[in-house]
Amino acid sequence: MIDEYIQPINEPILIPPDEPPIIVSQKRATYNNLSLRYHKEVELQFIKKGQGAYFIQDQNYAFKKNSLIIILPYEVHRLIAHPGLYIEKWLALFPETMLDEDSKLTDLPRHICLAEDAAADLGFVFANIDNERKHRHPFWQDIIKTDLKKLIFLLRRNGAQTNDNPLEPENQLIKEIVKYIEMNFVEDLTLNSLSDRFALSPTYLSYLFKKCTGLNLRHYVIQRRIMEAQKLLENDSMLKISSIPQIVGFHDFTVFNRNFRQITGLTPSAYRKIIHKHSK
């Protein structure tokens, strides 16, 4: 069972059919311990105040004031929080289909540091999209699409000036370990088995993994399995829920059900109902 302090934040992202398929919100909050996440939308995190790190897929990205973090669809990610971490940010979530071919994000750095004037321009675009959604004046949806494209081009202009630092040895090692977990998370992965495979002591591997991902190894594997279960529930409405635990690496349905509910805030059946009711 995972620790009780992990809060259910991985509930499905649902946008009403009459809304444009983009969520933009301004957040000011203190963050503590959070679960791994994934979703089918592009996610942009514009950090206006605060500093910390994001773990995305298999790499750790440190950020500070005026940083932009890019998370692509279905990438495993997590804000590495600590008690008292305070962040002010704009958040944008939208499907990749909203982007034209000339405004894709795949060739941009995942972490872009912005000068004050560029950050001010970016903040203005986020605020304008939010304002158009709220007031819905004539042509508001067209303006949102135009502003989104402008936002991407501003990132492209500033991203071209950003050079991601080479991975430190510790990050490179965790990158290899996470890649191995991604390929084998349905197997019986333990701290000892991974320590043997990567020729590390269990104590050092545990310390390094927690430092880089913000989670201990066991919790990471459990949350990764639950994320895979969510994908199955979303994509295969005919698959029996009782079959899912074995597919994703759990040997006991009760343990699977308990962990699924603790991480997502929903039972597997409730999660499926919400997803498929919204898709009709």
DSSP of 138-152, one letter per residue?
TTHHHHHHHHHHHHH
Q: Is the pLDDT of residue 2 over 60?
A: no
| Average pLDDT rounded to a whole number, residues 208-224 | 88
Q: Which of 10, 32, 35, 12 is nearest to 219 (CA)?
A: 35
Report the alpha-carbon distance of residue 189 to residue 219 in Å, rounded.
11
The C-alpha atoms of residue 67 and residue 45 are separated, in whole angstroms, by: 8
Place of tokens 């060739």: 107
Q: Please tell me the pTM assigned to this model.
A: 0.79
> CA-based angle 245:250:252, to the nearest 5?
85
Average pLDDT over the chain, rounded to an integer: 84
Cα distance between residue 22 and residue 1, in whole Å: 35
* Residues 114-132 pLDDT 10s: 999 999 999 999 999 999 9
Which domains, and CATH codes, for the chain?
23-159 (2.60.120.280), 169-279 (1.10.10.60)
Reported as a pLDDT band with limits 50, 70 and 90, residue 262 is: confident
Q: pLDDT for 142-191, tens place per residue?
A: 899 899 889 988 988 887 655 555 445 567 888 899 999 999 999 999 99
Question: What pLDDT, in 10s, does the model give residues 5-42?
Answer: 344 444 455 555 556 678 888 888 776 656 788 888 89
Helix, strand, or coil here: 29?
strand
Average pLDDT over residues 210-235: 89
Residue 7: predicted pLDDT? 42
Q: Span 64-68, mean pLDDT?
A: 93
Average pLDDT over residues 37-51: 89
Predicted confidence at residue 23, as pLDDT, reads: 86
The pLDDT of residue 71? 93
Q: What is the per-residue burial (b if ≥16 Cβ within 10 Å, else e) of 240-274?
A: ebeebbeebbbeeeeebbebbbbbbebebeebbee
Q: What's the number of CA atoms in the CB half-sphere (13 Å) around residue 86?
A: 3
